[in-house]
Structures are given as structure tokens and as C-alpha cells.
Amino acid sequence: MSREDMTKLQSERLVKLVKTCYEKSDFYRRKMDEMGVKPEDIKDIKDIVKLPFTTKTDLRDEYPFGLQVVPQSEVVRIHASSGTTGKPVVDTYTKNDVDNWAEGVARVMAAGNVGPGDIVQVSYGYGLFTGGLGAHDGAAKLGACQLPTSAGNTEKQIMLMQDFGSTALACTPSYALRLAEAIHQSDKVSIDNMKLRVGFFGAEPWTEGMRKELQEKLHIEAFDIYGLTEMSGPGVGGECEMHDGTHLWEDMFYPEIINPDTLEPVAPGEFGELVFTSLCKEAMPIIRYRTRDLTRLIYEPCKCGRTAVRMDRILGRSDDMLIIRGVNVFPSQIETVLTEFPAFQPYYFITVDRVSNEDTFDLDVELRLEFFSNDPAKQMPFMKPLYDRIVSLVGIRPNIHILPPGAIARSEGKAKHVLDKRNFKN
């Protein structure tokens, strides 16, 4: 779609959305009244900046159905994301919402040529989490066969992957890595007997290094898929075959990048916080949702021919950012460094603490079996370059602990990479 047609479509959808929200939702009416904005003030997508933001706190305050603008009889599905604290974030869907959601996922999987004849092994968790059913419905929309294994039960997953001939895998990148590891350790299955050719990985930040690792180990082409519960789930956007940024389906989810401190839009192409408005959502639409995800938008045309705007890889969430000795550190930076060193496995765990008023930064890593030794002298040739690279790239001196392969906990869903013990201290 041309930029002109896209802007026109977005404008029409925004005008309709704002009118509905104002009429049907006490929450939006109150917020808009507080800002002195009326639905008539919104005539064009550019007017979006006049509207109030919605935050995770708003969603918690309105728990469970405060933002819903249709009667319960029109709701056909409810999902929720488990927050680390307090009540979960809820999303509800009409039949059209479920269809549009599947469309978003299908657009991503279509970039990997998924269709009839494919078997899509969905190893995202099925349940309240949107990953499982979201990927499932997207695969169904393309006429592919869905294999709803859900997450976990790794031995069985890899057996079915081989026996049934799964051609596509959808799961978190950390679980894909766990599956790859299990396949290579197994004497019952072999990657050479598998038909896997594509993977759709998301729900957590991952890096180019991780892509390389997964592609090599699983003999696949790996695609990034992005989404969040508040905007339906996975399939807000995804990579195309160029693997040069994530296209956002901006006919359905209008993206903005703001400066999280001033809340003003950043200059085009600059990094900031991603904000979404769900232009088509019927049951629980959200206006200007502050995702906390940090990235930038790329408006230059993509070589693939799709005109939908792209976003850069998510650097991390502003709430995942660690401030260690005054330096901002994203766990994904550690992954980037680690995957540059072939002797190390791409698993890591960060522990931050405060001892005698000073921050400590401990980093657990695993050496591959062929390089591992308990002897510190033998570890040093591996440890030193890793240490130097982290100091130069991240700007902080880590206390590195080299562990044997398998020592760091593996994850079936979103990986947990950090323990910040300072959070438990006064």
C-alpha cells in the first residue's frame, strides 16, 4: 500500500476508534476530558499526538474489563499476561479481533512461505499466554497443519518433530536453543532426519548472534516475530525474507516513538519508547499504549517491496534496563557479546547486588564441552577476551564465572537472565 493510502486508512480508523472509545468507555472519556480533547478534534492520524497515553498502570487499575467497549456477549476469547507483580494484564477479543490477530501472525509466517503442506510445531505455551494460540491461529489461516505441542516436555517435542516431519517451529528463541541442544545431545533423533526449514521466534529480545546459532543448529531460516498481549499478542509485526528489521502491520497497530522522559515524539529514525494504538481492535482497543520497548522506526523502503514501516530489533524494555555503577546495561548486550565467541554457549545469567555501597556485577557463562576445564589457568585464555569485549562494549567490568555446559537453567518460555538482589534491599 502506498504511504498516502496507508495514512488515509489509518486516519479513517483512528477517527472511528476515538469516537467509539469516547462514547463507550468511562476511562477514555475521563482521560480525554482531562486533556480537553473531544472526538471532533481527531480528524487525521497526525492528530493522534493530542490523545492521552495509556500505561500498564492504567490497565492494572481498570482490571479486568474496564477498557472493554463491547458487551460481554460479543467477546469470544480472553487472554492475560502474567505480570511479575500484582494483577495480570488482560486482553479480550471479538470474533473479528481473533481473525485480525491471526492475519497479523499469518503475514509473518507467509514471509517464510508457510502454507498447505507445512507442519507448524507450536512450542509457545498454550493458555492465557498469547504465544501458543496466536501462532496456532496464524498457521491455520495459511492452511498449514498445526502441531500444538505447547512448551515443555522437550524429549517428546524433538521425537515428534522428527517423526511427524515438522517443517516450521514457533517458540521463544531461548526454547528453540534448548530444543537444538536436546536434538544434538540425543542419540534417538538427528537434525539430518528432520524436515525443519523455518522458525518464528519472539516474545523476548534476541540477537543476530542467536539467529546465527539457531540457523546453524536447526538448519532453518529464523524469523523474528514481535507482539504484546495489549495489542492482541504475537503478529504485531515480523521480519520479511530480507531479515533487515521487523515490519509492523501499521494498518492495524499504529506505531509512534516517543522520548520516555518528555513524552514528545522523537525525530524520525531516533531511538525511544515504542507506543501503539490498536486501530482495528473491537473488544478492548488501546490508545497510545506505552510499551516500554526501546527501538526505532525505519521508514526507508525495504528491498522486499513491503511498504509497512520497519522497526529495529528491540534493545530491551526500559524496565529491563539495569543501572550498574551508573552505567545503563541491557541483558541483550551481553548476549550480543557472548555470541561473538564460539567457545562459549549462548546461555548467561547476570546477578547484580550491592556490597559495601558498591554495585557488583556477576556473570555466569558456559564454555562448550570441548573447551571446558575446572582449571582457572586453562579458563583464562577464554575469559580474558570476553572480559575485555564486555568492558569495551558495555562499559562495565564483570566478575565472570565459567561454568560447565548445562549449568545455567534452560527455559521453556521467556528466559530469565537477571537476578537483581538490590531490589530486595532497602
Q: Which residues bind ligand DLL (CB under 6 A)?
A: 81, 124, 130-131, 134, 202-205, 224-229, 233-234, 291, 293, 314, 317
Question: Would you say 91 or 189 has its CB closer to ligand DLL?
Answer: 91
CB of 44 to ligand DLL, least distance (A): 27
Judge whether 212 and 220 are in contact, CB under 8 Å: no
Question: Would you say 201 or 347 has its CB closer to ligand DLL?
Answer: 201
Q: How far apart are CA 315 and CA 91, in angstroms?
A: 25
CB of 245 to ligand DLL, least distance (A): 12
CB of 203 to ligand DLL, least distance (A): 3
CB of 100 to ligand DLL, least distance (A): 15
CB of 174 to ligand DLL, least distance (A): 12
Nearest Cα neighbor of 56 from 252, 275, 251 is: 275
Question: Would you say 13 or 290 has its CB closer to ligand DLL?
Answer: 290
CB of 315 to ligand DLL, least distance (A): 9
Question: Would you say 132 or 398 has its CB closer to ligand DLL?
Answer: 132
DSSP letter for 112, please. Answer: T
CB of 131 to ligand DLL, least distance (A): 4
Question: Would you say 314 or 334 has its CB closer to ligand DLL?
Answer: 314
Question: Would you say 181 or 293 has its CB closer to ligand DLL?
Answer: 293
Question: Would you say 39 or 238 has its CB closer to ligand DLL?
Answer: 238
CB of 366 to ligand DLL, least distance (A): 23
Question: Would you say 131 or 255 has its CB closer to ligand DLL?
Answer: 131
Residue 76: Cβ within 10 Å count? 13
Residue nearest to ligand DLL (CB): 202
Residue located via cell numbers 524520525: 268
Question: Would you say 332 or 345 has its CB closer to ligand DLL?
Answer: 332
Residue 54: Cβ within 10 Å count? 23
Helical ranges in 323-374 per DSSP H: 331-338
111: three-class secondary structure by DSSP: helix
Residue 376: Cβ within 10 Å count? 9
Residue 129: Cβ within 10 Å count? 22
Helix (H) / strand (E) containing 127? none
For 128, 129, 191, the CA distances from 309, given in Å and listed in that order, are 29, 27, 36
CA quadruple 208, 211, 216, 222: dihedral sign: negative
Nearest Cα neighbor of 37 from 55, 51, 49, 26 is: 51
Judge whether 335 and 316 are in contact, CB under 8 Å: no
Residue 356: Cβ within 10 Å count? 5
Burial (CB count within 10 angstroms: exposed 0-12, middle 13-18, buried 19+), residue 237:
buried
Question: Would you say 162 or 232 has its CB closer to ligand DLL?
Answer: 232
DSSP E strand boundaries for 195-343: 198-202, 221-228, 233-239, 246-248, 253-258, 272-278, 289-295, 297-298, 310-311, 316-317, 322-324, 327-329
CB of 184 to ligand DLL, least distance (A): 24
CB of 182 to ligand DLL, least distance (A): 21
